[in-house]
A and B are shown apart, each in its own frame.
Chain A
Amino acid sequence: EAQVTQNPRYLITVTGKKLTVTCSQNMNHEYMSWYRQDPGLGLRQIYYSMNVEVTDKGDVPEGYKVSRKEKRNFPLILESPSPNQTSLYFCASSFYRTGARTQYFGPGTRLTVL
């Protein structure tokens, strides 16, 4: 089954404790992206990657890191989480060519930083 998986689905942590949210896709997509969803603001892009070893900042990259060592995986790293990073996070992937840019989203990770 074609899918994007994220782990964990729910996470409660404390300020400053490093964490990683994993994302994996099995559709051989070149493009992967991380979003956060906050009330009234919709989905805002954090980081994206157009292929292996190619990553770039989205609209709200502060406080986050990513890596793309393999095509299927795109982990999101919070080196020192803060309460303003409490949010719902989505990973997404797609092909990167005209006419096939529909993104497939993972189920989401709800993060609470105390």
Chain B
Amino acid sequence: DQQVKQNSPSLRVQEGRISILNCDYTNSMFDYFLWYKKYPAEGPTFLISISSIKDKNEDGRFTVFLNKSAKHLSLHIVPSQPGDSAVYFCAASAYGQNFVFGPGTRLSVLP
């Protein structure tokens, strides 16, 4: 059973609008969360992180929200740009243990 779920395999958004990518987890011991972005033929690259002591972390156009009670986090991209088109992975870790990755969501930002 997957501990980290990204229930939307794909998402299409118009350029300039907001992209919201969702991630749900089942392990209440997870205390650190990451988002990675992956372009074709490249390895994943780190995008943004959040620890369980926070409920929001912002970096430029990217904001991650964490709702611990719902075991849910989301990545907001505002405004979305065509260069944001990629696969986005959510990853979670418990107390310095190894990261567990979700299956990914393919974001397409349409010009």
Task: Report which A residues bind B (CB closer than 8 A).
Answer: 4, 33, 35, 40-45, 48, 58, 90, 92, 96, 98, 101-108
Which of A4, A96, A101, A108 is close to B41, meaning CB atoms less than 8 Å apart? A108
Contact: A48 with B103, CB < 8 Å?
Answer: no
Interface size class of B (residues with CB under 8 A): 20 to 34
Name the segment of B13-21, B44-52, B63-71, B76-84 touching the other chain.
Answer: B44-52
Apart from A42-B103, A102-B46, A108-B42, 19 more pairs, CB < 8 Å = A4-B43, A33-B98, A40-B9, A42-B4, A42-B89, A42-B101, A42-B102, A43-B44, A43-B89, A58-B98, A90-B43, A92-B43, A96-B96, A101-B96, A104-B46, A107-B41, A107-B42, A108-B41, A108-B43
Mark interface residues in B28-64 (1 if CB within 8 Å of A CB, else 0): 0000101010000111111001000000000000000
